[in-house]
Amino acid sequence: MHRKDIKLINHLKKLGIDTDDLGRCKIDVGVLKKLKPMPSGNGYKAVVVRDKNLMGFRVRVNTGGLRTFHYRFRPKGKTTDNNLHEKQHISIGAWYDVSNPKEKDLIGITPGFARKLAEEMKVKIQRREDPWSIVKERKKSRSLLSVYEDWIIKRLPSANYKPKSVRDYKNRYELYIKCNGKGSAHKKLYRQNPAAFAIMKLPIKDLTKDDYIALHNAITKHKPYPANRVVEDLRLVEKYAIEIGLLSKRVVEFKKKELNLETGRLDREDPYTVYEMKRYRINALKLISEDRKTYLVPSLSLLATGLLGGRSKSMIFSIEWDQINLAKGTIKFINTKNNKPITLDFDYRFKAILRIMKAHRETINHRDKRHIYVFPTSSKKFKTKHINDPRKTHTGIIDRAKLKYKCIHFLRHTWATNFYNATGDVMYVQEAGGWRDINSVKKYITVSDRIRKDKLAQVRNYTNKNSHVA
């Protein structure tokens, strides 16, 4: 064995890298993370590690720590150019540790993808074709991150999504595509799954379903539901890539059984009863009377209990004073889920609350844009000028009322259930609640035993009346 090989093997062993007798190993993420240049005198020298499974495939770490993949080969066939008989190198690309803050924004390739390119080069050489064409072609292609960013900037604003949906798309892009999450849980996620998140920097045309499955599995370890949403977002990005000519077909085609099972909150718990909602309203009003400064959020909670036809919380949060006609006792919603404007009447309870709030508004500087909203906020944690999350006050009301905790979204669930149990007409509930389709309404309704028995009795009566023999 050559003395250089012995030195290399000893160096790799010190780094915790297992090799065969020739100093070769399987080049993967674990090896790349450990790989460092070799000490030499007062400095360091570059190290080249060969792959034991694919001849010619290797990784080089220079004195600065940069790790690059190479493919070394000897061209076949006779030629007048004597240089082509010598062994030649093709630089495939660099690998960067996405768990390292200094390298996470750099665009590199994974060892698996580098190996795939090296295998393609091997085939090209065997066919006496140009192996450099693979690298040239790759340089022209765009990364998933680049295409995704393009979609966010160019396509998302024109897609007619609601502001909340746009915010959700952008948040998932920051957390799971750019990997910019600042929390410890997200940092741990990136650190433990570097290969899965490294696909963002690879050419979108070279990605396979296995790459997306690995990403989905990694995010699932963190949170199952966002993992499904990210896959759905990637389908939209792929559709965009096809439109601009970067892809010929979709890759992100997940079957239902390949996604995480989603049992919605509405499936797991029953809504509040009529008696429980009465206790909720009473305690919300008590909180308002005790401290007028806190009236905004409890009032918001009151609205969600049914005074405004079970509107979604996002619609209630963003109510503007221009939508309200105190004289007529009406409120007009423009941006509904079914995209149909709806005008609702409100009763004396809501009117009394609004008068208090209106009087308070008159004492405030109108030039402040947040005061166009009925429920403004000065909190810097919200990107909007209105309330977005009254969770704390909602929890306080529940504690005072001695009720089981259910998130504020259950107030809409409660309204839909009570409305249906009072009318027995699901179409009427859909219209009053502003749902887009009947299936959405059904998710919100829990049919009472009384209604169920009444419907069965109606069926029996109809059957008995029409069961005579002709």
Helices first, then strands: H and E counts in the chain: 20, 9
Residues 6+ apart with CB under 8 A from 419: 306, 310, 428, 429, 432, 433
Side chain identity, residue 366: H
Q: 106: closest CA among 148, 137, 143, 141?
A: 143
Residues 6+ apart with CB under 8 A from 332: 323, 325, 341, 342, 343, 344
- Domains in the chain and their CATH numbers? 3-140 (3.30.160.390), 144-262 (1.10.150), 268-456 (1.10.443.10)
Which element (helix H / strand E) includes 265? helix 265-268
Show the tokens assigned to 158: 């024109």
DSSP annotation of 322: G
Scanning the structure block, which residue is given the tokens 């390292």? 100
The pLDDT value recorded for residue 310 is: 58
Q: 148: closest CA among 224, 230, 85?
A: 230
The pLDDT value recorded for residue 457 is: 67
Which residues are paired to 72 by β-bridges? Answer: 89
Is residue 35 within 8 Å of 46, Cβ to Cβ?
no
Mean pLDDT computed over 443-466: 66
DSSP H stretches of helix in 132-246: 132-140, 144-150, 163-172, 184-192, 194-198, 209-222, 224-243
The pLDDT value recorded for residue 297 is: 57
Residues 6+ apart with CB under 8 A from 295: 288, 353, 356, 357, 360
Query: Cα 158 vs. chain centroid, distance in angstroms?
Result: 20
Which residues are paired to 460 by β-bridges? Answer: none
Side chain identity, residue 359: A
- Residues 181-235: tens digit of each pLDDT: 888 888 888 888 888 888 888 888 888 888 999 999 999 988 888 889 999 999 9
Residue spans of beta strands (DSSP E) within 46-198: 47-50, 57-61, 67-73, 88-95
Q: 181: closest CA among 237, 216, 224, 219?
A: 219
* Best-predicted range by mean pLDDT (68-77, 143-152, 157-166, 445-454): 143-152
List b or e across 373-387, with b for residues whose CB sees 16 or more CB atoms inside 10 angstroms: bbbbbeeeeeebbbb
Integer-rounded Cα Rg, in Å, for the chain is 32
Residues 6+ apart with CB under 8 A from 467: none
Query: Cα 317 vs. chain centroid, distance in angstroms?
Result: 23
Q: 109: closest CA among 90, 96, 100?
A: 96
Residue 78 has pLDDT above 50, yes or no: no
Residue 169 has pLDDT above 60, yes or no: yes
Residue spans of beta strands (DSSP E) within 220-373: 324-325, 330-333, 342-345
- Residues 301-335: tens digit of each pLDDT: 555 555 555 566 677 777 888 888 888 888 887 76
CB count within 10 Å of CB 260 equals: 15
Mean pLDDT computed over 274-302: 70
pTM of the model: 0.47
Asked whether the CA dihedral 337, 342, 345, 351 is positive or negative, the reply is: positive
More confident residue, 421 or 56: 56
Q: What's the CA gap between 189 and 248, in Å, rounded?
A: 32
Show the tokens assigned to 372: 């166009």
Which residues are paired to 49 by β-bridges? Answer: 59
pLDDT class for 450, splitting at 50, 70, 90?
low
Residues 6+ apart with CB under 8 A from 167: 383
Choice among 143-152, 248-257, 408-417 with the minimum mean pLDDT: 408-417
Q: 57: closest CA among 16, 83, 101, 90?
A: 90
Choice among 35-49, 236-250, 436-450 with the minimum mean pLDDT: 436-450
Is residue 368 within 8 Å of 361, Cβ to Cβ?
no
Q: What's the CA gap between 185 and 394, in Å, rounded?
A: 27
The pLDDT value recorded for residue 104 is: 67
pLDDT class for 51, splitting at 50, 70, 90?
very high
- Residues 134-160: tens digit of each pLDDT: 777 766 678 888 889 888 888 888 777
Q: What's the CA gap between 192 and 187, in Å, rounded?
A: 9
Q: What's the CA gap between 106 and 67, in Å, rounded?
A: 13
Asked whether the CA dihedral 225, 247, 71, 101 is positive or negative, the reply is: negative
Residue 57 has pLDDT above 90, yes or no: yes
Average model confidence (pLDDT) across the chain: 77
